[in-house]
Chain A
């Protein structure tokens, strides 16, 4: 059976070159980078090379990169750490309604600690209006956190415009770039932000490693206390093999970015155009054009996403869904609901995220497999039965 992996938003596979780069650090080169002897030097040098590689990917200086254990940690660190470091100035924080839970739940925690949190709404495409951010800024606002792109609906946000507003008022601005760094061009100076999160497993690097870029001079409160690793901002012995992998993945992403985008975009556009046509009663979620290159997301009417996911899996196709049934918490995607989609439509969420391994034949296969699967579930669905009866009755 054909195997088609279309869940690159969950994680990309590890590139063989990245794995090769990591292997020595899972073997002979095992020293603690904080150690002063030759063993330590070997690990430390590799880690500093990785720091340069990550910095170059996003147009930053190496000493502004803090390695973390994941995108989630970077987001927690930025939201809590920046707000706490500024709390003498005020206790007001602004985030968008469609942030990743690592930002939203961190903001919620700040709420428990006495901060006031404002959520900026989005339009039906999931776009944040910079004016909506401006309206919410106050004298005591100490942090704005808006994501660069949403991993669930693919929409790219107007970060540069928002940064134009926050920088004038000198409010620290963090952006969660987990979905974009290594995928589309990200330049921290051009974006004009103060802090930016990224994660290795979104661009063919290893899992369990991320980074937070923090503009020089911006104060942050560490989440982890201990030794003086990462300039005293993130204690704990560094995950050297993963950091080396992150660095290598960043280097490759920078070199190959243009060709990757060129390869993915037409495949994505075929899905966005042909899937709704082939299946019928399908809504594209997210912005139709201004979206991530490999990202195609939909809501299929009258059926539920997890059932679709499982039937596609039985045909060798891996996708994901934002339906309530797919989430462990059994709640419909907060992103789709914030975009104004009704709950029953959000239940039909399906997300196809392409990667470098995908071919035009993969797309053919998905477009061939999808209609009978949807049809099968619709034949079972009482909602579809009601719909067809109303249509017939109306005639």
Chain B
């Protein structure tokens, strides 16, 4: 059996939402190249919803598929809904990840979360002015 599910392979071979957003409302970075995987998420927020989500990923097939899946799951969701995306949910949507890849490559949800937090922090600052 191949190590990756068909769904993982699909998202790896045809990743959705790759790229950067110019003047994003939030940026979130997770991982580092030393441990193998690194992901950067960019978000555009409109009326409390994720109007656009894009990513850049350095990493293995699983890391790329995870990023793609997270971007797809998050797009169009409210911030509260998007914050409920967990690594477990991402892995389930991908029809499973190899055991040893679950922790190191499954950083997409955290990176997205950081992007949302980044946005909220900026909002607070602006609100405080």
Interface residues, chain A, CB within 8 Å of chain B? 302-304, 306-307, 310-311, 314, 323-326, 328-330, 332, 343-344, 347, 379-385
Contacts and interface: CB of A to CB of B under 8 A. Distances in A.
B58 A325 contact: no
Contacts of A344: 33-34
16 contacts: A304-B36, A304-B37, A304-B58, A306-B60, A307-B60, A311-B13, A329-B100, A330-B35, A330-B104, A343-B34, A379-B18, A380-B18, A380-B56, A382-B40, A383-B38, A385-B56
A340 to B, nearest CB: 15
A256 B101 CA distance: 43
A385 B33 CA distance: 14
Contacts of A304: 36-37, 58-60, 63
B57 interface: yes
Tell me if B's interface is mostly helix, strand, loop or mixed. mixed
B119 interface: no
In this complex, the interface size class of chain B, counting residues with CB under 8 Å from chain A, is 20 to 34
Contacts of B105: 325
Nearest to A326: B60
Contact of B36 (A302, A323, A328, A382): A323
Q: Which of B56, B60, B104 has the most CB of A within 10 A?
A: B60
The 3 closest A-B pairs by CB, nearest first: A325-B60, A344-B33, A306-B60
A307 B38 contact: no
B96 interface: no
A385 to B, nearest CB: 6
B62 to A, nearest CB: 8
Given A330-B36, A343-B34, A344-B34, A307 B13 contact: no
Contacts of B57: 380-382
A306 B60 CA distance: 5
Nearest to A383: B58
B33 A325 contact: no
Interface in B1-42: 12-13, 15, 18, 20, 29, 33-40
B64 interface: yes
Given A310-B12, A325-B63, A381 B56 contact: yes
B4 to A, nearest CB: 8
Interface in B81-113: 100-101, 104-105
A331 to B, nearest CB: 9
A55 B89 CA distance: 58
A325 B37 contact: yes
A177 to B, nearest CB: 31
B21 to A, nearest CB: 12
Contacts of A332: 36
B76 interface: no
A324 B62 CA distance: 13
Contacts of A347: 33, 36, 58
A197 B60 CA distance: 34
A199 B58 CA distance: 36
B23 to A, nearest CB: 15
B104 A307 contact: no
Given A303-B58, A381-B56, A325 B18 contact: no
Given A323-B36, A326-B60, A385 B20 contact: yes
A310 B9 CA distance: 9
A381 B60 contact: no
B64 A380 contact: yes
Contacts of B20: 385
A307 B61 contact: yes
A333 to B, nearest CB: 12
Contacts of A329: 100
A46 B80 CA distance: 73
B61 A310 contact: yes
Contacts of A343: 33-34
Given A325-B104, A326-B60, A330-B35, 18 more contacts: A303-B58, A304-B37, A310-B61, A314-B13, A324-B35, A325-B36, A325-B63, A329-B100, A332-B36, A347-B33, A347-B36, A380-B56, A380-B64, A381-B56, A381-B57, A382-B29, A382-B39, A382-B58
Contacts of A380: 15, 18, 56-58, 64
A347 B58 CA distance: 10
A212 to B, nearest CB: 32
A325 B12 contact: no
B19 to A, nearest CB: 8
Nearest to A328: B100
Nearest to B12: A310
